[in-house]
Chain A
Amino acid sequence: MWNNKRREDEFTPKAVPTPPIAPEPKKEGLPLSTAPIKAPEHETSRGAASIGKSVTIKGQIFSREDLIVDGEIEGAIELNEHRLTVGPNGRVRAGVKAREIVVLGTIDGNVEALDKIDIRKDAKLVGDIKTARIIIEDGAYFKGSIDIVKNETPKPTAPRPQAAAAGSATSPQPAPVSANAVK
């Protein structure tokens, strides 16, 4: 009876196994498909290029990855498929074009965000905005125009209505496809 009872001070904790180290993500080669691959949302911050707060660039920047700007840029910035983040210390005096733009610092220039622009509360943006969606936090300063341009997916064209026969209307029959048709 006493041997079976285990007091707390006699309890020896089991060694906690260390969690296995997550294996490095397998790097894939270039995909064979030519369709653009969109990275999941949580991965967009990883692998972003960044311009630190002590860096000043005058010129044009073209990027094929997400970009974080905490320094000064003067000129033009273009990231058609990616996200631009202007950090709290970032000062951009440039025209900007990106898929998505997040502003915590300052932009002085016209801005085109194909998907969305997000202006945070201490941000300052002077310029015209063209975007599909906009989020503006209270406290943000903005001067300029906002033009919402929805990205519409092309709709399939409706079949042309045929001249109605007397008493009935029928939809056009699809052309028959032979078994030997080449795709």
Chain B
Amino acid sequence: MQSQSGLPELPNGGRAVGGPPSERILKPEDFVSRHSNGLDQFFSYIKGESGLSILDLAGVNQANVSFITNLGHKIYSEDFLRGLRVGANGDAQPRVDAFLSQNLNHREGSFDGVLAWDVLEYLGAPLLTATVERLARIVKPGSYLFAVFQAQEKAESVPQYSFRIKDSKTLLVADRGHRKPEQVFNNRSLEKLFHGFESLKFFLARDKLREVIVRR
């Protein structure tokens, strides 16, 4: 069953809950192919280079590892969502310093690119601000960050997605359930969030997802 956006919904419609998505194992039939202008732009920026170090914040999966390493790059995997589940310890959000020391403890200029996917949406405001500041330090100047945000500014619950790279322009996307967003974003709030970066580019798609490419 597909929603109006064309992306899959859970058979029961899902139930809005707070917090990061569930850990259920996804099956191939859960995934729907989706063209991604943002991803296309991200890979076009690093085209022709090899040996780069790419940070993936949404945990590891075979598709993303294979794609990045087949391009000749190194991939570094962090699992923010698991970090939120573990670090929250019954609270809505974990402590900022503890979370960053566990999940983004890297030297300055460690990475040539970041695939943030939609994980930044799960962070409460203080943690989100601190995370973006840390990201600005640990990536090299001139490198790019790709992130996805919900474009529905007034939604009570939004789908939580798992993203797999099919090719440089195509994502496989699976719905993990619904949740209440930590905060809503529009172009203005995203510009403010990434004020420490050099530039920002938006790609708005029909499936109500806003893709963002940020240049450090």
* Chain A residues proximal to chain B, CB less than 8 Å: 121, 134-148
Give chain B residues whose Cβ lies under 8 Å from the Cβ of A136.
60-62, 65
Q: Flag if A141 contacts B79 (CB, 8 Å).
A: yes
Give chain A residues whose Cβ lies under 8 Å from the Cβ of B133.
none
Give Cα A135 to B62, complex, Å.
Answer: 7
Give chain A residues whose Cβ lies under 8 Å from the Cβ of B53.
145
Q: Confirm or deny: B14 has a beta carbon within 8 angstroms of a beta carbon on chain A.
A: no
Q: Flag if A138 contacts B74 (CB, 8 Å).
A: no
Can you offer 13 A-B residue contacts whose CB atoms are under 8 A?
Answer: A121-B25, A135-B62, A136-B60, A136-B61, A136-B62, A140-B60, A143-B77, A143-B78, A144-B76, A146-B60, A146-B74, A146-B76, A147-B74
Minimal Cβ-Cβ distance residue in A for B64: A136
Q: Is the interface of A mostly helix, strand, loop or mixed?
A: strand
Q: Flag if A145 contacts B74 (CB, 8 Å).
A: yes
* Chain B residues proximal to chain A, CB less than 8 Å: 23, 25-26, 53, 59-62, 65, 69, 74-79, 82
Q: Flag if A134 contacts B59 (CB, 8 Å).
A: no
Q: Flag if B77 contacts A142 (CB, 8 Å).
A: yes
Q: Using known A-B contacts A121-B25, A146-B75, A147-B74, determine if residue A141 contacts B82 with beta carbons closer than 8 Å.
A: yes
Give Cα A137 to B53, complex, Å.
Answer: 22
Give chain A residues whose Cβ lies under 8 Å from the Cβ of B69.
134, 146, 148
Give chain A residues whose Cβ lies under 8 Å from the Cβ of B75.
145-146
Give Cα A50 to B186, complex, Å.
Answer: 57
User: B176 to chain A: closest CB distance in Å?
Assistant: 12
Give chain B residues whose Cβ lies under 8 Å from the Cβ of A143.
77-79
Q: Flag if A138 contacts B26 (CB, 8 Å).
A: yes
User: A139 to chain B: closest CB distance in Å?
Assistant: 5
Minimal Cβ-Cβ distance residue in A for B82: A141
User: B107 to chain A: closest CB distance in Å?
Assistant: 13
Give Cα A138 to B65, complex, Å.
Answer: 12
User: B139 to chain A: closest CB distance in Å?
Assistant: 15
Give chain B residues whose Cβ lies under 8 Å from the Cβ of A121.
25
Instruction: Choose among A142, A147, A148 the residue that contacts B60 (Cβ–Cβ < 8 A).
Output: A142
Give chain B residues whose Cβ lies under 8 Å from the Cβ of A140.
60
